[in-house]
Structure 1
Amino acid sequence: MTHAEHAPTDHYYVPHHSHWPIVASISLFILMYGGATLLNGGSKGILLLGLTLLLITIFGWFGTVIREGEKGMYSDQVDRSFRWGMIWFIFSEVMFFAAFFGALFYARSYSVPWLGGESDHGLVTHGMLWPKYEADWPTNGPADIGGFFAPMHAWGLPALNTLILLSSGVTITLAHWGLIEGNRPKLIKWLAATVALGILFLFLQATEYHEAYKHLNLTLGSGIYGSTFFMLTGFHGLHVTIGAIILTVILFRSMAGHFTLERHFAFEAAAWYWHFVDVVWLGLFIFVYWM
């Protein structure tokens, strides 16, 4: 089939026998075993081997899917399957972050006030164990775990990063419009701008972490505030990193002439993921930095 052709709408493509699933299983097992070994004082060689095999699997498997898509082997039904798969994946990511937001909400609204004696639940605990503890937020707990720290203020790098990430949501939309209009230079230009903004966001977040550790004494060991702060912002930073890598691949594919008005789900999936990252950051900025 040529690039412009695609499978009939009533045909569902069944992949041929592939070695990638078993390679992925082996690489994930080695990665898990290597991580456990490292945590128990072992060397990092096994972990690096598992990571290398996993990266090879990702490049190989995704490359196979890209080649099949460019050959027109996927029908409309397969395209719908891809879309539903991406929707459920993003939903699972929403639930992942909801768990950490829930932990933050519970700590701020229930645990800390109870420890401060603000309800019947905390009167005994407060009176017998920590009678001098005041339920203020941010806090590192009644025992001042990790020592004194200063919280991260919203109106500095976090506000700038918010502007950057919201701007990247605009640039990815402009790139999508370029694809729909058949304007490939516009697609490539705004997609490259989105990748650049994502990298800039990560650089500023790394700068923020350096500031937190070196000057604010804010670490993962700084009680409930430090742990929730770094868990939420750290996992979000990981998702931005993954999103930036995905968009970079989409950028290279766009430069190679991939995607048409009728067939561009890979671009849409990357855009959905990036918008999800934007929305999560808005929640982080409001509930972690601002409030």
Structure 2
Amino acid sequence: MRCFPSIALPLALALLAGPTEDEPSAVQDPRPISAPGIENLFRLGPNLLSGGQPEGDEAFRALADLGVRTIITVDGAAPDTEAARRYGMRYVHLPIGYDGVPREQAVALVKAVRSLPGPFYVHCHHGKHRGPSAAAVCAIATQGWDKDQARRWLEEAGTSPDYAGLFASVAAFEPPTVAELAAVPESALPERAEVPDLVAAMVDVDQRWERLKAVSAAGFRTPPDHPDLDPPHEALMLAEHYRELARLDEAKDRGAAFLRLLARAERDALALRDALRDPAALATAPAAFDRAGRDCKACHSRFRDQSPN
């Protein structure tokens, strides 16, 4: 892992104290911008952007062209640190869940934008839920946003009201004190964080589900722009992910209701596989796909989307 030199104490204290005269601090409304390989890209201020995961060299080049020097991801997936380095940027990996931004991570987010080179790009997978909430925390602490502007930003970014914990944590957020920020060690801003096995497994499920969405959009056949995708195999792999999830101690600790949902999701993914591999049954694929989607929504609503507080 690449090491980045510590900032001298006087400069660090100045950064912790707030914007300098040379750093624009006026409140700015978010505005959408476009770049190849990046979904839902917005500029939130002179020093802050938000959006989806950069896909491919073009996306990282575009971020560098926009002046970005530090990329902050709150996604569970491991970031492409090598691609960032190729374009003169570094990553900070601070994963959060859909149930809100924990205080510890919120303080680390603010420490990152106070102590590392900007401008900053904050992202999750699609740039709609976790990323915008993390960016809102940064904007409240460093750009003078009030809670109403932060809430409007989440709505503009497309953050689903189903994720009540994300809205609640932004509404309750108060900027950290200088003492809180000073207590955050450099090791708390890793380029690539270790994530729990359950989180890593759910990342795999999400990625497989994205492939099945592409299959659905192609009429439940191999998408022309993804000839590598075999629809029945994708559904089978989704079922396997659910089966492996159920074997994890973290999944068992969530209780019988969670395990029942996983078992049902596995059965419905296998039914989708059967519909996709039999031409005579292909007409049943949309209903099977919808059932599989409802399984995800039911699990998210009960176990992922609400604030633990």
TM-score, scaled to structure 2: 0.31
For normalisation by structure 1, the TM-score amounts to 0.32
- Which has more radius of gyration? 1
More helix by share: 1
